[in-house]
Amino acid sequence: MIHREGYTIIAGSLVLVGVLGWVVNHYLADYKILSWGLYALLLVFLVLIVQFFRNPTRHTVIDASTVIAPADGKVVIIEDVEEPEYFKGKRLQISIFMSPLNVHVNRNPVSGIVKYFKYHPGKYLVAWHPKSSTLNERTTLVVENEAGIPVLYRQIAGAVARRIRWYVKEGDSVTQGAEYGFIKFGSRIDIFLPVGTEVKVKLEEKVWGGETVIAKFN
């Protein structure tokens, strides 16, 4: 299944590949090795664009005691930090880095009510840069679950990503594992939990959005 965020880009890429293919066929047809090499490059380009916007079905086990990975990727941070925007205090941070080859659909790690949402325009440092969470283009979303525990999760644009999409607003009721946003072309998501929350993943571990349990509330 292809995500709706990719329809326009994929259509434009098809047109571009078609035009370039015609140019190669028209002007380079006599250069067999070169022309077939260019055809192969165009095909690889198109495949990469299409696979980036794939939207596989995920099966979430709804559980108010768990925190589900909000995206596919690799766990790059697990540490207690100061969260300055909303909590203004110490929280457990778990960060997931999404490479351009990962699925970039973003999913709610918990069910609950959206208590806070804010979009921040910003820079485009590489997503693993320590200051990307405070300087890059990003969104901040806080959901309070049925036990009254607030969970903050933040979409962060990377060096290539320039488009963050979100489909929620303050006051909305959201469901664990349901789609809430999308980031195009490489990015990161930070999750902030109460200090002492049991972490169920390790650094460098690969996780799958909507399915992998990354933490469990005490």
Alpha helices in the chain (DSSP H): 7-27, 32-52, 132-135
- 199 contacts 79 by C-beta, under 8 angstroms: no
What's the token pair of residue 92? 């457990």
Integer angstrom CA distances of residue 112 from 55, 62, 149, 190: 24, 12, 9, 18
Q: Hey, is 42 helix, strand or coil? A: helix
Rounded distance, CA 112 to CA 33, Å? 58
187 is catalytic: yes
Sheet strand arrangement including 198-199: 66-68, 213-216, 198-199
Are the CB atoms for 146 and 64 separated by under 8 Å? yes
From 95, 111, 133, 187, active-site residue: 187
* Residues known to be catalytic: 187
